């Protein structure tokens, strides 16, 4: 798989060219994808693997864009995502019954997230599960607060974010300062000849199509199935606390749950952590049994 040649990724105008090239690569039909995956799995046909990878390069860019606010060059994120894509193609089994895109998106995300964390280790980002959650969730929470209240973040918001994420106020403030940096604009001109042509125009269309609709449907079904099965290993209080902290659209704070169950905030956090670990162990066992890579709760 390592000798597969992909379109060259470079910065600035070179990356613009890369976007144009992958946008011209046609998507595979379900039947084409099945036959190519079958041929690679059974005959080790590298040309079939090459076509599978090429047809999903646009998916990598779509996922990489979601991580563009971490201060790292988008071409680098795409390159790392492509590595994850190649790993997905290598391990994909067409007989499992779902499309490659459903399977590959988890490998792509994992590869990009690992690269982001390694790059940010230069400023000593923590490696605990709480720190990782803080790193990847802080921007989303800030965006939610700004949209809800139409104002800038204040000191009280930082404390609420700390409670929600189960970390200290100091950790939230420090992480926010570390992550402060310029965004990568996809609205700049794609070439000098046509200033009206922006980079984003060369990304795949967002309107519904058969492949995207199937991806979204399978994504939701997979998550519901695995989560429903995994929740059965928890006791009633673990289910309620984990749901309140991680699965609700507006997560409850440690403070509110502490008062509801008449226990300390630290005890609530311990129960939450234990319940989450139970879910992780269940999913890992399922992965080992079924040979599937499924996303756990972030």
Give the model's pLDDT for residue 39: 93
CB atoms < 10 A from the CB of 212, how many? 17
Round to whole Å and give the CA distance between 221 and 118.
32
Find out whether 130 and 137 touch, Cβ atoms under 8 Å.
no
Q: Match 């690269």 to its residue by tokens.
A: 115
pLDDT at position 122: 39
User: What whole-number distance in Å separates Cα of residue 25 and Cα of residue 200?
Assistant: 16
Distance, in Å, from the CA atom of 214 to the CA atom of 209, rounded to the nearest integer, reads 8
Q: pTM for this one?
A: 0.48
Buried b / exposed e over 24-38, threshold 16 CB at 10 Å, is eeebbeeeebeebbe
CA–CA separation, 84 vs 82, rounded Å? Answer: 5
CATH number belonging to the domain at 124-184, selected among 1.10.287, 1.10.4030, 1.10.10, 3.30.70? 1.10.10
pLDDT of residue 161: 83
CA distances from 290 to 95, 285, 286 (A): 12, 9, 6
With residues binned 3-state (H G I as helix, E B as strand, rest as coil), the percentages for the chain, rounded to 5, are 70, 0, 30
Would you state the structure tokens that stand for residue 121, as one six-digit string? 């280790």
What's residue 129's pLDDT? 61
What are the backbone dihedrals phi and psi of residue 122, each rounded to the nearest 5 degrees, phi first?
-60, -25
Quote the CA–CA distance of 122 and 113 in Å, as a whole number: 15
Task: Measure Cα distances from 207 to 132, 193, 210, 211, 212 in Å.
Answer: 33, 28, 10, 11, 9
The domain locations on the chain are: 13-120, 124-184
d(CA 231, CA 228): 5
pLDDT along the chain (298 residues), means of 10: 63 75 90 93 92 94 86 86 92 85 90 79 50 72 76 79 82 71 46 49 49 57 69 87 77 85 90 85 66 42
Q: Which CATH number fits domain 13-120: 1.20.120.1810, 3.40.50.1220, 1.10.260.40, 3.50.50.60?
A: 1.20.120.1810
Paired with 189 in beta bridges are 198
Tokens of 138: 């802080």
């Amino acid at each position: 798989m390592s000798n597969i040649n992909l379109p060259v990724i470079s910065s600035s105008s070179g990356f613009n060219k890369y976007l144009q090239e992958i946008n011209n690569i046609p998507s595979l039909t379900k039947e084409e994808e099945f036959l190519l995956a079958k041929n690679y799995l059974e005959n080790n046909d590298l040309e079939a693997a090459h076509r599978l990878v090429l047809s999903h390069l646009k998916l990598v860019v779509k996922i990489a864009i979601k991580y563009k606010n971490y201060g790292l060059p988008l071409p680098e994120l795409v390159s790392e995502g492509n590595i994850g894509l190649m790993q997905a193609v290598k391990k994909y089994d067409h007989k499992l019954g779902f499309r490659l895109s459903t399977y590959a998106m988890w490998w792509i995300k994992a590869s990009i997230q690992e690269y982001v964390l390694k790059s940010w280790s230069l400023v000593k980002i923590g490696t605990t599960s709480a720190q990782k959650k803080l790193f990847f969730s802080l921007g989303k929470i800030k965006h939610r607060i700004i949209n809800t209240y139409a104002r800038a973040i204040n000191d009280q918001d930082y404390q609420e974010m700390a409670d929600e994420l189960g970390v200290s106020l100091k950790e939230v403030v420090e992480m926010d300062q570390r992550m402060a940096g310029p965004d990568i604009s996809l609205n700049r001109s794609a070439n000098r000849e046509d200033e009206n042509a922006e980079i984003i125009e060369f990304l795949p269309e967002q309107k519904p199509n058969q492949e995207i609709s199937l991806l979204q449907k399978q994504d939701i079904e997979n998550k519901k199935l695995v989560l429903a099965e995994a929740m059965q290993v928890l006791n009633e209080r673990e289910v309620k606390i984990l749901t309140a902290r991680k699965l609700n659209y507006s997560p409850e704070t440690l403070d509110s749950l502490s008062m509801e169950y008449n226990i300390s905030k630290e005890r609530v956090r311990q129960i939450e952590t234990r319940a989450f670990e139970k879910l992780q162990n269940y999913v890992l066992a399922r992965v080992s049994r079924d040979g599937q890579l499924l996303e756990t709760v972030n």
